[in-house]
Structure 1
């Protein structure tokens, strides 16, 4: 994806660097820390394909940052471990910058009663 010259000149290198796949996956799971997802669901909601997401999840599990049960993945509940991950702070900051800080109370107020059909298990 290209950017305009003004953005190129006025944006720091850190801001222009894309998030790594593990950072994207972890950022997604942190933003949805009350749920567990299948790899294909995470891939559908983020940029990387399912294969890249699966690899990232395995690496994040090895670092103790995500938990795995059957075909589902969730972010760890160990906040200290999360904060110790160097990509966590950067991913959180970039997601907050792009999307704004999440207010879970506001989100819950507008959340649908039923999950989106794309999040339902079709198997």
Structure 2
């Protein structure tokens, strides 16, 4: 995947790290907020596997971060919701860097232990 030189020049090293598929979709749609896109076009422009894009978009829609009409997708028009989601994402990334990423299996095991009480 490539990025344009302006993004390369303007972003920090941390911001240039590999983004997750949902992050890539949100960034793409945010930067192209004047248009709505078909899922295949989003997949092609973000280098996301076409077999994965509909799942990514559906999950983002469940969180009200994208809008869907017919076969077209666009970024949410709720900029406050989008900002809050980004703030949470940044906080999670910071905590993961400071304290290490959460181990899902450990959480599941702990939850099972609590259910036994």
Q: Is TM more than 0.5 here?
A: yes
Structure with bigger RCO (C-alpha 8 Å, 6+ apart): 1
Within-5 A mapping of 1:3-82: 14-15=14-15, 17-82=17-82
Cα separation, partners in 2 of 1:56 and 1:87, compared to 1, 3 Å: farther
- What is the aligned length? 80
TM-score (norm 1): 0.57
Tell whether the 8 Å contact from 1:39 to 1:73 is kept in structure 2 after alignment.
yes
Q: How far did residue 18 of structure 1 move? A: 1.1
What do residues 18-69 of structure 1 show as CA deviations (whole Å, max 9, x unaligned)?
A: 1000000010000010110011000111111112221111010000000001
Quick one: distance in 2 between partners of 1:87 and 1:71?
29
Unaligned runs of 5+ in 2: 2-11, 91-117
Q: Which of structures 1 and 2 has the bigger CA Rg?
A: 2
Unaligned runs of 5+ in 1: 2-10, 91-123
